Amino acid sequence: MKPINRSKISLILLVFAFTNLVIISQCLAGENIQFENQYLKYILSTDGRNLGFIDKQSGTDYLDKSSSEPFAYLIKDGRKYNSTKISVVNEK
């Protein structure tokens, strides 16, 4: 099965952000951050990398593991700046 591209992942995450998305993990030193509901589990490392994008119904991880893409990036003056750290500020 072909991995989902970044734009589709972004759209899916936006949709889930406005539904019953729950933060499962607390961002303690060295722990991954997980967003999860009955359909999806999205796992991020605290250094800003995507670790998993799992369909909970099928158990399929749609994250393309062949590249280590950042959770977010910014392009300024033609230069790309990757995220290097993420944390949970408010769990509610």
The domain ranges of the chain are: 6-82
Give the Cα separation of 33 and 60 in Å (integer).
19
Question: What does the DSSP assignment read for 32-90?
Answer: -EEEE-SSEEEEE-TTSBEEEEEETTT--B-S-TTS--BS-EEEETTEEEE------S-
Q: Residue 22 is inside which H or E element, if any?
A: strand 22-23
Q: Tens digit of pLDDT per residue, the chain (92 long)?
A: 555 566 666 656 655 554 444 444 444 445 788 888 888 998 888 888 899 999 999 999 999 888 778 888 889 999 999 988 887 776 55
